[in-house]
Structure 1
Amino acid sequence: MIKKNLAPPSNNAFTSFLPLRTKDKHYKFCWDSVLGYLVHILYSKSLFTKNVYEFKGLCEKNFSKNLESDDSGLWDVIEKMYFQNDELFKISPEFLIFKAAGKEIDANSKKLGDMYAGVLNGFTVESSSVTNLNFLEREIKSEFDKFHVSGKKTTPKEFPTYLPFISEYFKKDLHFLNKKPHYLISNFNAVIRLYGFLYISQMALSINNWACGEPKSEPCFFILDNEKASEERSQVKNCGYDKIRDHLEYLYPYLFMNEALQEKNNVQPLWKLFDEINDSHIDGLNNFGEDFIADRTERKWYNTELNWQRSEDKKNVLAQLLEASHSQFHRRKGRLSTYSNTAVKGTLLNILDPFIQNRKRGGNVLAFNQDYIVLLTNLVIGEREKLRFHEVIKEFEARGVYFDKQSQQNLVDFYERMGNVVRMSDSGDAVYVRPTV
């Protein structure tokens, strides 16, 4: 895991876990391409170069062979039904691969797609069910499978995940959604935006806990988008947007240093790296720390003098290395703060943005709109008929979504307006929530 020959890198770039880079242009993503890229990984389908128009030609040829001569106009009807206004994508989630096929996916979207590949961590699902498709749709799906080399699978490249608990819930939720293909199609983009937020926010909140072992869900408080965010709601104020914003600044420097210490093709999470460090690594890490500070000092990337303190304690050694990396980007200690700020702002404005609202005097808060609440509720209940409200809250929290008592009461009111609450008694413990799918 740790490099045998450690030497300070000439730059601070890294490629593992997150698509963080240092220029504004790096945060211009095509979410359709990201979705298509994720579909190709999730369903083990290769990213072919043919586009949807070539596929339409194959379908026309197939239907023309099977149609009676006096049905020659039927293809025109089929074409209008399924090859206009994105109706093709409503047949099966697998067809969304066309959003990334037929063209070279841009580098920014691919890097973001690789983040989701890491969250999937090698997980795949079987082809979605065709039981609810009509005979025309089944023919088109059959042609798609033949078009895709008769459904030939590719072995997905496994990317390591930084947060195993988020990966497990992502897999569980996608497994459930794959059984509800039409619901998945309607909500696929929302699912990836939701899990993009959960993965990055939870990584930010846990990045400084690298000495505590495998990460667990950290409190991250939201409100419903129709609520007021008053100052006295301390959990929303202290463990919401501001906390994430403050912790995001550690992601770039810490993940860079984490990668700089490891072999290129075997980069593990920082918390796992710490666990793997043993006595045989200590001298090399101390020497690397001295060399790294000397290199960055010579480049004038520090505003203040840093001195390496040799130590035999692995926690102290790794803490110094991370501080040496972070200091380059610190607004007072280093000269590279602009680059780190770009990564933070790019992440907030282009990946986490669906869950951030500005409340003017109240500042920015984390908020769920009604559509995301319904989606998340359906995911946590899954295939169960109903779930106790307090168990729904626990499932939310396990995924990294927390609500204070006031928001929880508003959530019950919202469910009641929707008509998916079952009260077995006046006791709060006897409030059940039903899914809407």
Structure 2
Amino acid sequence: MLKSDLKVPSSNSLSTFIPFLRTKDKHYKICWDTILGYFVHAAYNKSLLKIELDGFKDSCEQRFSEILDEPGFWSEIEAMYFEKEELFKISPELLMFKATKGEIDPNSEKLGDTLIELLNGFSLSSSQNSNLNILAKEIKANFDTFNDSTKVKQPVNKNKISYLPYLTSHFQQDLKFLNSRPNYLVTQFPAFIKLYSFLYVSQMALNIRDWKGGEPSHKPCFFIVDNERASRERTQVQRYGHAQLVEYLEYLFPYLVMNEALQDKGNTKPLWHLAKAIRDDKESLDDLNLFAQKFCDARSKYFLTPPPVEKQNDTDNAIEQMLKLSLRQFEKKNGTLKEYNQTAVKGVLNTICAPFIQKRGQAGQVLTFNQDYIVLLTNLAIGESEKLRLHELIKAFESRGIYFDKQSQQNLVNFYERMGIVERMSDSGDAVYVKKTV
């Protein structure tokens, strides 16, 4: 698992698990529409389109000129589907036109690659045309003529290990659920990728230090509904909400960079998997002990004070020492690279986390869900079932890394009742059912 020849990297760079995580402000200027189009090409296992939207429109005009008795009717079709966003409501796959080949900015591509890491080789089947009108069917059929030969050329790595297997499972399950409802998917796709971008990065941050425990599990991350009051007395929200997330984001870049430095390029496994694979291996222990001193010497200019390097007696401690050395470069009191890690943390907070953060007076910054996200999340959690008991629904939220305290749970019930999707079998809380809206 370790590189056969461990060398100290000349710079801190990251290309695995969260390739979006970088250390300059310019890297966080993104376009969510581009990210969506780029992700869609991978989700449907297609290559990026080479034809621009205008070229596709010309092709559709030609197609309709051959089948329409009144050529002038094309102007009506053009106004109906191409002058607004109606074209993208025909099929989720048409969203690929938001990211045609050669027109994708590097920052949006990196965030798209981060979502593809979570996809982990899973792909969706082509959306069905059965519910489309005759005009939409012709446009989709024309799109398919461009799309039929755009299968991804690179074989999927079946041996790749997700950093967060539990979240990958939910991601795949939720995508499959949405894909079976293409009209709903098209309307919710932008919110869906923002939601899972946040869940992936937040749960990675909350799990990154717990690598000795083996495969990760969902960690408490508390939210409130955006229309309820926050206060300092809500200890779970204060202790395990925004403040906790900011604290743990500090470890993401240093730890992932070191994890990558210890492994062969193209075959980087999660940190927790690496630790398990080399545990109690004498040769790996010797290599790590030797590498620690090499790393310390080579990166000495980035330490304000010389860090302690000791010979370790087991691989877990040796990995821990390497992670501390990597982190020390970026620490406020011990390293000269602190501004770079702070840029990465702020970049994540201002892009991926921004839709889920609000400032609430004396309570400070809190993590929130607005009602649109609550409805989407509820539908995803209920999935193919018709309804779930309230406590089952809360557990489904938590399994995705979304926690609500008792006050927020009651607020959710009130919201569901206003929507008319609550069934009460009795006055008991165990008999409260919530139905999905799709």
Q: What range is the shorter-chain TM-score in?
A: over 0.9
Match of 2:313 in 1: 312
Paired AA for residue 287 in structure 1? L
Is 2:268 the partner of 1:237?
no
Q: Which of residues 273, 285, 290 in structure 2 aligns to 1:287?
A: 290
Inter-partner Cα distance in structure 1 for 2:210 and 2:313: 20
Q: Do structure 1's residue 95 and structure 2's residue 94 form an aligned pair?
A: yes
Instruction: Name 1:170's counterpart in structure 2.
Output: 171
Helix, strand or coil at the partner of 1:329: coil
Q: 1:281 to 1:150 in 2, by over 3 A?
A: closer
Is the counterpart of residue 395 in structure 1 residue 396 in structure 2? Answer: yes
CA distance in 1, matches of 2:274, 2:312: 18
Question: Which aligned pairs between 1:206-355 and structure 2 lie closer than 5 A?
Answer: 206-277=207-278, 278-297=281-300, 300-355=301-356
Aligned to 2:141: 142
Match of 1:37 in 2: 38
Confirm or deny that 1:5 pairs with 2:26. no
| Corresponding residue pairs, total | 433
Q: CA deviation at 1:360?
A: 2.6
Q: Are residue 205 (structure 1) and residue 203 (structure 2) matched?
A: no
8 Å contact from structure 1 (residues 145, 151) kept in 2: no
- For 2:104, the equivalent position in structure 1 comes to 105
Given the alignment of the two structures, is residue 359 of structure 1 paired with residue 363 of structure 2, yes or no? no
Equivalent residues of 1:44, 1:154 under 8 A apart? no
Is 1:81 matched with 2:88? Answer: no
Secondary structure of the residue that 2:333 maps to in structure 1? Answer: coil
* Residue 155 (structure 1) shift: 4.8
In 1, the alpha carbon distance for the partners of 2:155 and 2:126 equals 15
**Cα distance in 1 for residues equivalent to 2:364 and 2:56:** 49
Pair 1:350–1:77, CA change in 2 (3 A): same
Distance (whole Å) between structure 2 residues aligned to residue 167 and residue 88 of structure 1: 30
8 Å Cα contact 1:207-1:250 kept in structure 2:
yes
CA distance in 2, matches of 1:116, 1:35: 10
Matched residue type, 2:218:
S
Give 1:16's aligned residue: 16
Shift in Å, 1:151:
6.5
Which moved further from structure 2: 301-310 or 389-398?
301-310
Q: TM-score, length-normalised on structure 2?
A: 0.97
Q: Deviations over 1:350-407 (max 9, x none)?
A: 1111111111321100011000000000001112111111100000000000000111
CA distance in 2, matches of 1:154, 1:407: 47
Deviations 1:196-227 (A, max 9, x none): 11101011001110000000000010001011
**Aligned match of 2:113:** 114
The Cα offsets for residues 249-304 of structure 1, whole Å up to 9 and x where unpaired, read as 0001000000000000101111011111122211111110010011111xx21112
CA drift at 1:307: 2.2
Report SS of the residue matched to 2:302: coil
Query: How much has 1:12 moved relative to structure 2?
Result: 1.0
Contact 2:231 2:362 in 1 (8 A): no
Amino acid at match of 1:384: S
Which position in structure 2 is the counterpart of 1:428?
Answer: 429
Indicate the SS of the match to 1:222.
Answer: strand
| Distance in 2 of aligned mates of 1:355 and 1:224 | 10
Shift in CA distance, 151/208, structure 1 to aligned 2, threshold 3 Å: closer
> In structure 2, the residue corresponding to 1:433 is in which secondary structure?
strand
Structure 1 residue 312, shift from structure 2 partner? 2.4
Structure 2 residue runs of 5 or longer lacking an equivalent are none
Q: Secondary structure at the match of 1:422?
A: strand
Distance 1:385 1:305 in 2: 61
Shift of 1:157: 4.8
Q: Paired residue for 1:191?
A: 192
Measure the CA separation in 2 of the matches of 1:119 and 1:255: 15
Q: Are the structure 2 counterparts of residues 75 and 32 from structure 1 closer, same or farther at C-alpha, using a change threshold of 3 Å?
A: same
Is 1:205–1:247's contact at 8 Å kept on the other side of the alignment?
Answer: yes
Unaligned runs of 5+ in 1: none
- The residue type equivalent to 2:268 in the other structure is V
3-state DSSP of counterpart to 2:48: coil
Which amino acid in the other structure matches residue 80 of structure 1? A
Name the CA distance, whole Å, in 2 between partners of 1:79 and 1:276: 58
C-alpha separation in 2, matches of 1:103 and 1:160:
30
Please give the per-residue CA displacement for 1:66-86, whole angstroms capped at 9, x wherever unaligned: 122xx1211111111111112
SS at match of 2:299: helix
Check conservation: 1:118, 1:160, Cα contact below 8 A: no
Residue identity matched to 2:322? L
Measure how far apart 1:41 and its partner are. 0.4
TM superposition score normalised by structure 1: 0.97
Q: Quick check: 332-341 or 96-105, which moved more?
A: 96-105
2-structure distance, mates of 1:363, 1:231: 8
Q: Give secondary structure in 2 for the equivalent of 1:249.
A: helix
Aligned counterparts of 1:54 and 1:304: Cα–Cα separation in 2: 60
2:232·2:238 contact (CA, 8 Å) conserved in 1? yes
1:161 shift after superposition: 2.6
Letter in 1 for 2:194: R
CA contact (8 A) 1:41 1:156 kept: no
Contact kept in structure 2, 1:245 and 1:344, CA below 8 Å:
yes
Question: Which has the higher mean CA deviation after the structures are superposed, 381-390 or 392-401?
Answer: 381-390
Provide the C-alpha distance between the structure 1 equivalents of 2:231 and 2:361, rounded to a whole number of angstroms. Answer: 12
Give the 4+ runs in structure 1 shifted more than 4 A: 150-160
C-alpha distance in 2 between matches for 1:2 and 1:386? 48
Percent of matched pairs sharing the same residue: 55
Q: Distance in 2 between matches of 1:100 and 1:328?
A: 37
C-alpha distance in 1 between matches for 2:136 and 2:235: 53
Q: Distance in 2 between matches of 1:144 and 1:77?
A: 19
